[in-house]
Structure 1
């Protein structure tokens, strides 16, 4: 199985989380494309307006299956080894999904103010299009 993570390559928090996923997964399950890579996003019919709603996760075997925002973050967590235990527990707690969605929206909408903006777009070494550029940390 392959999944594609579409992330904000200019967001310090987003890049840090992608780098953590890269370390944990080593490209076995996840490949990445920054939201700034318009050419790659066009292949999936993803627009800049779509990206405004946050991270996108695409099922590589069924590209029409997609998650976005906090749902994508939860699905990424669920796909990690033993991650489903934590995601299922989180989802089972009354009100946590609602609170988590609101928290995600606040972080998404204020990410540059809170975490800063990178001077250059981060390109993963586990790129979605197979034409990986040199990563810029």
Structure 2
């Protein structure tokens, strides 16, 4: 369970593709992990539906939705955006047990390698992991059901 509701915790907004099965699985896993930040998960589709991200993410400037679909973005409370591998590392730094992984990102050359790996997977995410039929941004989403289960999940 995510222990991020404590007062004074840094708030990070994780902006992800609500149609991407890899993104949805990653968000579901992050919600289970303990973070010292208040992680808010915002599907791109919800930002588009609202018309302006400023209503959901304070201090955020004008968003370019085409760029948001290319990479996951993380926004901090000041509105600074971290995209792709930078965003992943920004979140990892807050998650108990994964903070040490963020250290490797500081090794010379690792940022470039991590960014290339991120782009390689991101460009193939629908091909490799497919898409959901609907975004989880409105009224939750339905995950594939196992026999006898009703898997209705919301954000």
Instruction: Give TM-score, length-normalised by structure 2.
Output: 0.71
List gaps (5 residues or longer) in structure 1. Answer: 124-132
Residue matched to 1:33: 42
Which one of 82, 93, 105 corresponds to residue 119 of structure 2? 105
Equivalent pairs, count: 125
Residue matched to 1:79: 94
Pair 1:23–1:135, CA change in 2 (3 A): farther
Q: Which moved more, 1:46-55 or 1:35-44?
A: 35-44
Separation (CA, whole Å) in 1 of partners of 2:98 and 2:113: 19
Q: Are residue 3 (structure 1) and residue 12 (structure 2) matched?
A: yes
Displacement of 1:114: 0.8
Residue matched to 1:17: 26
Residue matched to 2:131: 117
Secondary structure of the 1:36 match is: helix
Separation (CA, whole Å) in 1 of partners of 2:116 and 2:33: 27
Q: Are residue 95 (structure 1) and residue 114 (structure 2) matched?
A: no
**Which structure shows the higher helix fraction?**
1
Separation (CA, whole Å) in 1 of partners of 2:25 and 2:133: 14
Residue matched to 1:57: 74
Contact 2:16–2:72 (CA<8 Å) still a contact in 1? yes
Displacement of 1:41: 4.7
Contact 2:89–2:105 (CA<8 Å) still a contact in 1? no
> Which one has a bigger Cα radius of gyration?
2
Residue matched to 2:53: 42
Secondary structure of the 2:15 match is: strand
Higher relative contact order (CA 8 A, sep 6+): 1
Separation (CA, whole Å) in 2 of partners of 1:40 and 1:85: 37
Instruction: Give TM-score, length-normalised by structure 1.
Output: 0.79
